[in-house]
Structure 1
Amino acid sequence: MRLPPDSLAFQMLGAATAVRAVSEGTALPQAIEDAAAQLRLDRVRDAATRGALQDIAYRTMRQFGTARALVTRLVTRPPGAQVDSLLAVALALLLEHAPGPRDRQDQDADAGRPGYSTFTVVDQAVSAAASEPKTAHARGLVNAVLRRFLRERKALLADVNRDEQARWNLPPWWLQMLREAYPDQWTALAASANVRPPMTVRVNTARVSVQQYRTDLANAGLAGHVVGPQAVRLVRAVPVTQLPGFAEGVVSVQDAGAQLAAPLLEVADGMRVLDACAAPGGKTGHLLELADIDVTAVESDPQRATRIGENLARLGKQAKIVVGDASRPADWWDGQPFDRILADVPCSASGIVRRHPDIRWLRRETDIAKLITEQRRIVSQLWPLLKPGGILVYVTCSIFPTEGEEQARWFGAQLADAIRLQAPGQLLPGTHAMQAAGADGDRDALAGTSGTSGTSLPSDHDGFFYARFQKRA
């Protein structure tokens, strides 16, 4: 049975294929691309269908712990990987109908997002199963499982939520790290991982003021709130093609917390700047918007390096893009020292899990130690490339102290001639912020007057850690 591409059944089937791939180790963006290719979806002609497929897959990843626990509880015999994933997708959509108070931010972020009645979800899940020879035998099972969930919802959720992974949709080791680091905040942080993130743009204030851009948004029928010096958070997420000035490079989509990186470097005209681990180029573009500088952007993945060039072209900016390993500068460095270095290093991505919900299911506890070693190797290798008097900014999109404050202290002790400067330290997702001990422990670093950088903390952001080091002259 051929399903219409605009049907929920077709989109659920595609999402189930992507979810299955994540279960087998593929990152969600690539899994969605593969599923779209398998379904022969054209990027332009079928943009709406691709968007719906992606939306459903992301919703499922945020509810995957609960959904998987329910499948295990409701199905006595393994139905096969594709049926298993289809059930997880359907259950995740049904879980969104849960009663109870909702966070205002979540409501705003969800505005305009398609909602489906419970009847529609069940009906279309059965149609999706019936459409494929390999899953048609399970259409009765799909119908029975989903209807039973609706009948016994309260008791079933009480049962599966005894398991912490099902309750919080986070692996046990992840939850343990949150408990140890944030004993008074861990439940709020765990819950925030399952909140749909806001869409925030960075306004190029050299071309238009933030307030003028809010007016431009209003004229386009969109609303936004100022949440940082150049950051505007949209009330409703929209395709970038609907953003005024996006094609012309007036604005870029970038989380408000990520927008702190470039100003912390305090760049000035004529400086040589290294952006290590630069893809997809958001911070590179921001640096070039702030001053007339010579930027080298290093990225180890050739495909991701291509995206840097594409993003800079839209902004009308240029940088020297190098495909190389940031921890092996001998392979790509020209021998000329840099005035500034941005070390946005690989990490657990625990601070952006609400934006990339598959990360929690792909990461392993053993990855953390490997990442810590890699972070130290990268910064240690980049430090000699910095001029005396120059500044290096260390950034991770992590909320685990082992990748944040503990690393900053290690760098301060190990790097020759390093002076630790004020910086925001640990930013927690949402509106939470914590100060990491800076060079003098000054609380102004948290209040928004971090040394000479003049960087104000945004009011809504993902989780990041920032530390700054200056090399003695």
Structure 2
Amino acid sequence: MINSRALAAQTLVQLVDQGRSLADLLPATREQLPEEERGFYQQLVYGCARHYLSLDELTRKLLNKPIAHKERVVHMLLVVGLYQLWQLDLPEHAALYETVDATKPLKKPWAAKMLNAALRRFQREGDELIDGLQNAAGYPGWLTRQLRQAYPEQWQDVMAAGNVQGPMTLRVNRRKADRAEWLARAEAEGLEAFACELTDSAVTLAQPAPVFALPGFADGDVSVQDEAAQQCALLLAPQNGERVLDACAAPGGKTGHLLECADIDMTALDVDESRLQRVAENLDRLGLNARQIAADAADINAWWDGNAFDRILLDAPCSGTGVIRRHPDIKLLRRPKDVDFLTQVQDRLLAQLWRTLKPGGRLLYATCSILPRENSERIAAFLQKQSDARLLPLALAGDAPTEFGVQWLPQPGGHDGFYFALLEKIDPTPAA
């Protein structure tokens, strides 16, 4: 029977060698395990993905010759064992024994002796081997170079923050509950949580919890959403009666927040029809409604009815480099050419959606990236081309200097990395 360590090794083969994302892999693979093993399995997979480039370097130091490519699952089992010994607070003998024993369900008994020797050597020489790592942060070289160039004083802190799991932060539905009231309910139910400092709708849990253990979650009183993502609806600030577009809406967290903020005529648009189902489910739980359309937001002829919007949220497709701590497979799956492609997508979305905005209307451009190429450079290029656009100041402090917009960097125990730029369409009509 498959166990958590063996399954983690198989999953890593699919991630690293086949380029499949954890979001795609985990829902199906964890069902192969008993309920009590799924949490540990997920911890192993996420942790190994987060530190894979460092762990892979360690394997080369520990082995006289690389494991044959046809035996990649054995290589990944060694990675799983090293992760436990290096990063997890487990009894070393148990981590070693259980990892070696996982060769049995994988039908690789020949590998037991080799794994045992490598892991025991790490027990003896681990501190020295870790000190000698060339890639101790576990980031790909191209991304390290871009972060170092963008944040010469902060790049190491940025990468360190990306290697620590982000907190579980919630958004209290202000239509249904006051934050102080919800915190009191949580305390009464034995749930430790505290109010966030930057956003009056946000609370963070001391420890992650299942969503249905959250007071009022099923009734829409609270939703899971990072404090940075919560800024989008607050900065766009829709007003009652306005026509609002969430241009890349799935899975619907920001759509719901916009509807919580005001009574608006809401359109939720997403290119992936299957992901719109998540939007529908989230809105149904919140008791809110929006017009939902599956289409490419940049192909306005395919979906726009010609009635201009007062406000548009463009949470643009991006590299996700600001949320690596939540999606560590980004380190392994993203390539420089992906960023090149994404900047073209971002430019096209900005240019086309601008056509659907009313004079005097506002568009918030946001990404969960920390790369200037996707953020301030996109806004600079847009403003240079678009004479009827102006950048509005934001009452929001950034974590790094930027000429256009506000850049947040991931904070240990705090918000994710995120970028915001609020644009207004200049009304050519002279004032009376």
TM bin, normalised by shorter chain, reads over 0.9
Answering whether residue 213 of structure 2 is matched by residue 222 of structure 1, we say no
Among 56, 75, 81, the alignment partner of 1:68 is: 56
Shift of 1:459: 8.9
Alignment of 1:253-264 (within 5 A): 253-264=224-235
Provide runs of 4+ in structure 1 moved above 6 Å. Answer: none
Structure-1 separation of matches of 2:233 and 2:412:
14
Say yes or no: does 1:155 pair with 2:128. Answer: yes
CA distance in 1, matches of 2:99, 2:263: 54
Match of 1:78 among 57, 67, 89: 67
CA distance in 1, matches of 2:402, 2:269: 28
Q: Is the 8 A contact 2:361 2:425 kept in 1?
A: yes
Following the alignment from structure 1 to structure 2, what is the Cα–Cα distance between the partners of residues 270 and 177?
43
Return the alpha-carbon distance in structure 1 between the equivalents of residues 106 and 151 of structure 2. Answer: 47
2:323–2:368 contact (8 Å) kept in structure 1: yes
- State the AA in 2 paired with 1:420: L
The residue identity in structure 2 corresponding to 1:124 is E
Distance 1:302 1:460 in 2: 32
Deviation at 1:201, TM superposition (A): 0.2
In structure 2, the partner of 1:36 is 30
User: Which of the residues 318, 329, 341 maps onto 1:370?
Assistant: 341
Pairwise CA distance, 1:283: 0.3
SS state of the match for residue 284, structure 2?
Answer: helix
Cα distance in 1 for partners of 2:50, 2:175 equals 38
Unaligned runs of 5+ in 1: 4-9, 98-114, 428-432, 440-444, 448-456
Distance in 2 between the 1:245 and 1:464 partners?
A: 28
- Distance in 1 of aligned mates of 2:15 and 2:319: 17
Q: What is the number of residues matched between the two proteins?
A: 419
Selected match of 2:362 from 385, 391, 405:
391
Question: Residue 367 of structure 2 contacts residue 418 of structure 2 at CA under 8 Å; is this kept in 1?
Answer: yes
Q: Which of 76, 91, 104 is residue 82 of structure 2 equivalent to?
A: 91
Alpha-carbon contact 1:282-1:311 (below 8 Å) kept: yes
Asked if structure 2 preserves the Cα contact closer than 8 Å seen for 1:425 and 1:436, the reply is: no
Aligned to 2:169: 200
- Most deviating of 293-302 and 178-187: 293-302
* Residue 180 (1) aligns with residue 149 (2): yes
Indicate the residue corresponding to 1:436 in structure 2.
Answer: 402
* Cα deviation digits, residues 53-92 of structure 1 (max 9, x gap): 2222111111111111111222313151111111112211
Shift of 1:414: 1.6
Does the 8 Å CA contact 1:257/1:458 hold for their aligned counterparts?
no
CA distance in 2, matches of 1:29, 1:128: 24
1:470 corresponding residue in structure 2: 424
The 1:18/1:424 distance shift into structure 2, 3 A limit, reads farther
Q: 1:424 Cα deviation (Å)?
A: 6.2
Q: Does 1:15 align with 2:8?
A: yes
Amino acid at match of 2:24: Q
SS at match of 1:179: helix
Q: 1:149 to 1:241 in 2, by over 3 A?
A: same
Matched residue type, 1:15: A
Larger deviation, residues 230-239 vs 326-335: 326-335
The Cα of 1:435 is off from its aligned counterpart by 4.7
Distance apart, 1:426 and its partner CA: 8.3
* Matched residue SS, 2:227: coil
Structure 1 pair 395–458 and aligned structure 2 pair: CA distance change class (3 A): farther
State the alpha-carbon separation in 2 of the partners of residues 259 and 320 from structure 1: 21
Per-residue displacement from partner, 1:103-133 (whole Å, max 9, x unpaired)? xxxxxxxxxxxx4221111111112112222
1:146 aligns with 2:119: yes
Counterpart secondary structure, 1:236? coil
C-alpha deviation, 1:179, in angstroms: 1.0
SS class of match (1:273): strand
Give distance in 1, aligned partners of 2:397 and 2:272: 28
Q: Distance in 2 between matches of 1:256 and 1:415?
A: 31
Contact 1:130 / 1:137 at 8 angstroms: preserved in 2?
Answer: no
- Residue 128 in structure 1 maps to residue 117 in structure 2: no
Please say if 1:403 is aligned against 2:374: yes
Q: Secondary structure at the match of 1:335?
A: coil
Aligned AA for 1:74? L
1:324 lines up with 2:312 in the alignment = no
> TM-score normalised to the size of structure 1?
0.84
Asked if structure 2 preserves the Cα contact closer than 8 Å seen for 1:15 and 1:32, the reply is no
- Pairwise CA RMSD: 2.1
Paired residue secondary structure (2:166): coil
Q: State the AA in 1 paired with 2:175.
A: A
How far does residue 425 in structure 1 lie from its aligned partner after superposition?
7.5
Q: Which runs of 5+ in 2 are unaligned?
A: 428-432
Give the conservation status (yes or no) of the 8 Å contact 1:424–1:436: no
Are the equivalent residues in 2 in contact too, given 1:398–1:465 (CA < 8 A)? yes
Structure-2-length-normalised TM-score: 0.92
CA displacement, residues 419-451 of structure 1 (integer Å, 9 cap, x when unaligned): 210136785xxxxx1353459xxxxx899xxxx
